[in-house]
């Protein structure tokens, strides 16, 4: 059975992004970056949305399919975030729980 581990805290600067990246790597699970604060985990991973032509997570949710993670080498696989996440509707009815296991930030 797949599980989703969520890393979240109200307080800023307490290590959420760092923990999510490390945890996903150690669990050999994809990191799904739901956060958008200048890029957070996706940027630290090396992803630059400015160079991409898609919005992997939002596009997958809009098309009612599971997102395909980017493959990480010596780092976790990643479903990257996008600035549009800051005003997206991520309710369960919109398919949030279609993600197949992993660590969510």
Binding residues vs ligand ATP (CB under 6 A):
12-18, 37, 40
Residue 25 CA to residue 102 CA, distance in Å, equals 10
Beta carbons of 90 and 35 less than 8 angstroms apart: no
Min dist CB 31 to ligand ATP, Å, is 13
Residues 6+ apart with CB under 8 A from 12: none
Beta bridge partners of 4: 102
Residue number with CB closer to Mg ion (66 or 88): 88
Min dist CB 75 to ligand ATP, Å, is 15
Rounded to 5 degrees, what angle do the CA atoms 90, 91, 96 make? 70
Among Mg ion, ligand ATP, none, what binds residue 22 when CB lies within 5 to 8 Å by partner kind? Answer: none
Residue number with CB closer to Mg ion (40 or 102): 40
If one asks whether residue 80 binds Mg ion (CB under 5 A), the answer comes out as: no
């Amino acid at each position: 059975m797949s599980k989703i581990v969520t890393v979240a805290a109200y307080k800023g600067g307490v290590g959420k992004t760092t923990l999510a990246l490390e945890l996903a790597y150690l669990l050999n699970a994809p990191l799904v970056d739901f956060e958008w604060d200048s890029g957070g985990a996706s940027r630290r991973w090396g992803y630059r949305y400015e160079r991409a032509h898609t919005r992997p997570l939002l596009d997958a949710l809009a098309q009612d399919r599971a997102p395909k993670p980017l493959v990480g080498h010596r780092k976790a696989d990643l479903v990257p975030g996008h600035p549009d996440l800051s005003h997206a509707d991520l309710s369960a009815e919109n398919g949030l729980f279609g993600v197949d296991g992993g660590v969510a930030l």
